[in-house]
Amino acid sequence: MPVVIEGEKYYRTAEACRIAGISKNTFLRWAREGVLPDVQRRDRRGWRLFTTSDLHRLKTEANQIVGSSEMKTQ
């Protein structure tokens, strides 16, 4: 369930990854390898908070990578 801070909706990592159709480990690997930039906002525990635009970027990247790997297997 998204959390609202100062009127903006944020998603936690597990929820953002579920929406994007990737595992949390995949996202963490992509962030570590620089495939995608890490998110800018974190909560008081240091957990990532994804904005709607972060979520869109994650979904777009996931679709590009999944789509290109499917083409390679054909």
Looking at domain 3-69, which of 1.10.1660.10, 1.10.3480.10, 2.60.40.10, 1.10.10.10 is its CATH number? 1.10.1660.10
Domain ranges within the chain, ordered by starting residue: 3-69
User: 67 pLDDT exceeds 80?
Assistant: no
Specify the 3-state DSSP secondary structure of 44.
coil
The residue whose two tokens read 């789509």 is 67
6-44 per-position pLDDT tens digit: 899 999 999 999 999 999 999 999 899 988 888 999 989
Distance separating alpha carbons of residues 30 and 21, to the nearest angstrom: 14
42-66 per-position pLDDT tens digit: 989 999 999 999 999 999 988 886 6
Distance separating alpha carbons of residues 16 and 3, to the nearest angstrom: 12
User: 69 pLDDT exceeds 70?
Assistant: no
pTM assigned to the model: 0.77
C-beta atoms surrounding 30 within 10 Å: 18
